[in-house]
Structure 1
Amino acid sequence: MRVVVLGAGLLGVTSAYYLQQLGHEVIVVDRHATPAAKARGVAAARPGAATATAPPKRRGKKFSKLRSGIRRGFARLIDRAVGTPPKRDPLDHLVRLAAYSRKSARALGDEAGVPHGARTAGLMNLFTDPEAFRTRMANATHWSGLGCEERLLSVDEAIGLEPVLAAMRSKLVGATYAQEDPARDPAQFAAGLVFLCRAAGVRFMTRHTVVALKEQDGRIDHVELLDGAGRTITLRGQAYVLALGAASVPHAEELGIDMPLRFVREYIVTMPILDPAMAPRIALRDRQGKLRIVRIETPAGDQLRVHAIVAAGLDEEAEPDSDRFQAIVRRTEMLLPGVADASRASFDTAMHAVSTNRLPMIGKTRLPNLFLNTAPGTRTWIHACGAGKSIARIVSGLRPELDFAFRRP
């Protein structure tokens, strides 16, 4: 069966690999010049490349627009009724998917020779609220049963792994630690997987922008593309996998497929490190302050980068950006006193669209030959292999190996 994968990010590339392994002819379409461009750090558009990212607006008669709107609205109601997975704790699903992805990535490396690269120092979750840490300890057995590889740490154990935390000993009540997997640093993994796809016969149509998915008789009939010269191209397959991230949404909505999203704002603070010997070696996540703190290397020297994500609506109604940034700096200085130069901090912010339950959208739609494998606004390399392997099995009519909230037809 010919399967057209729309999007050559990590989700699209892993989908293509596992689809090809199941015997399909696979074509992957992407607007970038290189597959997995973002993961490989080469996503910048080249001069002359097509830059359209959404379907162009088309004019027509008012009656035609009304009829089309009614059809899409009715289809969306059907999709909501039959496509919504059972309500269970989304965190359980994410833990299972991450565990399955790690297992799949390791098997892929062992069986197909995808390089894993050097392992990172890991990720440590810091708890300064005793009640929150007690809750985490109470859930330890449950999460371990789902495949979570985090270890619970006492204050002394946490400081033993990351000595810089000694400065906040009086505030720290406990921590968890996980050795991060190679797939969390996706560049080398992505390059190896793209090589394997090409070697196996997967065809990549780069510098091609998805303009529209055309429905006929209750199925996707073809896809309209723009090539790098702006020419319209028609592409047909027996099945289609929509893996365009946030860009999947307008195409899905045009077909009456519900993809509920909400917006979040990411705040990023970068500060020069005063003393490299005092800076954290392990990536840190402050559970109570909702910060992620990482040490990065730049041409100007080592720096501390702090990320915070808040619901966009809540933030707009509360404090302005300047207050939010200063709160992040104060919290970081409280956790890691004397590590970074706050007077030279730089600030940035970005908006992201994420699914309302923070779960990737994987599975079937109301159209029998259209499938979803998309995760708007998330760090998709964490679950790329698990999602790609699962959607390949679903497209092939096989039962997924993973217990997950897959979308149903």
Structure 2
Amino acid sequence: MRVIVLGGGLLGVASAYYLQQLGHEVTVIDRHAAPAAKARGMASAPSRPPLAPPPARSLCRTAIDGLRRRLHRVSGYLTGVRHRPAARLEHMVRLATYSRETVHELRKEAGVSQDLRSAGWMRVYTDAKAFEAFTHSVRRLQALGCSLQLLSPEQAIGIEPSLQHLHGHLAGAAFTPEDTSRDPAAFAASLAFMCRAAGVRFLMNHSVVQLHARDGRIDHVELANADGERSLLRADAYVLALGTGSVPHAQALGIAMPLRRMREYSIVLPIQDMAGAPQVMLNDRHERLRIRRIETPEGERLRVCCTVRLATDAQDLPDSTHFARMLARVETLLPGVVDPSRAEFSSTLHARSASGMPLIGRTPVRNLFLNTAPGAQGWVNACGAGKSIARIVSGLSPEVEFAFAKG
């Protein structure tokens, strides 16, 4: 069967690889010059405009919309369309665990290199009540295959000595030696190479203009190259893996993709105390920061990220306030480790699905399938999602229990 994967990000490349392994003739289309460009640090500036800000609304309208959302949420719980937070967490852990196992199989069978410097991932709590609340869900997560262990403050500092400055303030931590999110660049490059070796065709520097439907199916896809020249391609099946860019195409076909607007703030900081910098990826639960070492052409740096949902009052705060809070928290957690005077700041506006889960599975359009996770952090689900959608397209049952779209 001929399959076109619309989107050459890591999700699209993983989908293409597993589709090819199941015997399909696969073509990947993407606007960038190289597959998995974002994961490999090779992405160009987006060609599509950023998400437009929401229109101003009156207090009455805001209250009505809030009530409508609550009623819709309750109705979804009762009908089974929406998943409660506990069930949603279980679905996400299952997918992440399955994806991690899939990555290990891929590395073993195909010789994909592993980042030997990966030292694990640690969730850090300085709030005793928050840590106690989290401990209640750990047993359930472990039963689902999550290799997570609770740590006392002393144990956490033993694994990550950079937390020594928090002695007396650290309530506890959760640790896993698995850290697939440390540096996806090498993995993405290897996976793209394997796709080409298997026969996947990449049509780069092409943007998706429109999906043309006929009789409940996609008849063809209209493309434009870098010079604006149009062309048409046909296939037996199509996988929509354009991230946020999937939304206008889905909506044009009458497929609902409700989103939440998000802004991710990122700071890259030179490390001035290598011995004091963390080896593991830290997730600070107090300020929702993700802190990890990265490799850059200038040497090792510390990247600090924070994601804010714009449907909250936080959207009224200027970017400078968010950056100042992040820097202050880094100085509290890791005093003297970085040089804030040489910090590089950036922020990105993007979106996530309203459910918070990746959108994977069938659509009402018979030969159109989804594999997109607007705003999903990292790449932990890429291989699990790619292998699952490949099986769904092929008429096979997925190997993992997840809330796949039924179409």
What TM-score comes out, normalization by structure 1 length? 0.86
Give the AA of the match of 1:12. G
For the pair 1:365 / 2:363, whether they are aligned, the reply is yes
For 2:83, the equivalent position in structure 1 comes to 87
Give the AA of the match of 2:333. L
1:4-403 equivalent positions in 2, closer than 5 A: 4-44=4-44, 52-53=47-48, 85-88=81-84, 89-182=87-180, 184-298=182-296, 302-316=300-314, 318-379=316-377, 381-403=379-401
* Cα deviation, residue 276, structure 1: 2.0
Give the AA of the match of 2:2. R
Count of matched residue positions in the alignment of Structure 1 and Structure 2: 378
Deviations 1:178-208 (A, max 9, x none): 2234565222222222222222221111122
3-state SS of paired residue (1:382): coil
3-state SS of paired residue (1:381): coil
For 2:55, the equivalent position in structure 1 comes to none
For 2:70, the equivalent position in structure 1 comes to none
Partner Cα separation in structure 2 for residue 203 and residue 261 of structure 1: 31
Query: Does structure 1 retain, via aligned residues, the 8 Å contact 2:181–2:378?
Result: no
When structure 1 is superposed on structure 2, of 212-221 and 202-211 the one drifting more is 202-211
% same residue = 55
Unaligned runs of 5+ in 1: 46-50, 55-79
Query: Does structure 2 retain, via aligned residues, the 8 Å contact 1:165–1:336?
Result: yes
> What RMSD in Å do the two structures reach over aligned CA positions?
2.3
Give the AA of the match of 2:126. T
Deviations 1:156-187 (A, max 9, x none): 11111111211111110111112234565222
What TM-score comes out, normalization by structure 2 length? 0.86
Partner Cα separation in structure 2 for residue 289 and residue 305 of structure 1: 15
Partner Cα separation in structure 2 for residue 355 and residue 226 of structure 1: 27
Partner Cα separation in structure 2 for residue 317 and residue 377 of structure 1: 17
Alignment CA distance shift 1:84-1:29 (3 Å): farther
Give the AA of the match of 1:394. I
Alignment CA distance shift 1:53-1:222 (3 Å): farther
Unaligned runs of 5+ in 2: 50-74
3-state SS of paired residue (2:402): coil
Query: Does structure 1 retain, via aligned residues, the 8 Å contact 2:182–2:281?
Result: no
Give the AA of the match of 1:30. D
Alignment CA distance shift 1:127-1:389 (3 Å): same
* Cα deviation, residue 365, structure 1: 0.6
Query: Does structure 1 retain, via aligned residues, the 8 Å contact 2:94–2:145?
Result: yes
Deviations 1:291-325 (A, max 9, x none): 11223455656543321111123245543333322
Partner Cα separation in structure 2 for residue 402 and residue 178 of structure 1: 21
Query: Does structure 1 retain, via aligned residues, the 8 Å contact 2:180–2:380?
Result: no
Give the AA of the match of 2:397. R
3-state SS of paired residue (2:142): helix
Partner Cα separation in structure 2 for residue 312 and residue 183 of structure 1: 25
3-state SS of paired residue (2:235): coil
3-state SS of paired residue (2:379): helix
Give the AA of the match of 1:256. G
Give the AA of the match of 2:26. V
Give the AA of the match of 2:106. L
Alignment CA distance shift 1:285-1:4 (3 Å): same
* Cα deviation, residue 326, structure 1: 2.1
Partner Cα separation in structure 2 for residue 380 and residue 318 of structure 1: 27
Query: Does structure 1 retain, via aligned residues, the 8 Å contact 2:277–2:337?
Result: yes
Partner Cα separation in structure 1 for residue 359 and residue 89 of structure 2: 14
Query: Does structure 2 retain, via aligned residues, the 8 Å contact 1:284–1:293?
Result: yes
Query: Does structure 1 retain, via aligned residues, the 8 Å contact 2:121–2:179?
Result: no
Alignment CA distance shift 1:302-1:191 (3 Å): closer
3-state SS of paired residue (2:311): helix
Alignment CA distance shift 1:137-1:294 (3 Å): same
Query: Does structure 2 retain, via aligned residues, the 8 Å contact 1:119–1:182?
Result: no
Partner Cα separation in structure 2 for residue 310 and residue 318 of structure 1: 11
Deviations 1:270-303 (A, max 9, x none): 4443322222222211112211122345565654
Partner Cα separation in structure 2 for residue 261 and residue 33 of structure 1: 28
Deviations 1:103-134 (A, max 9, x none): 01111122233233424122111011112212
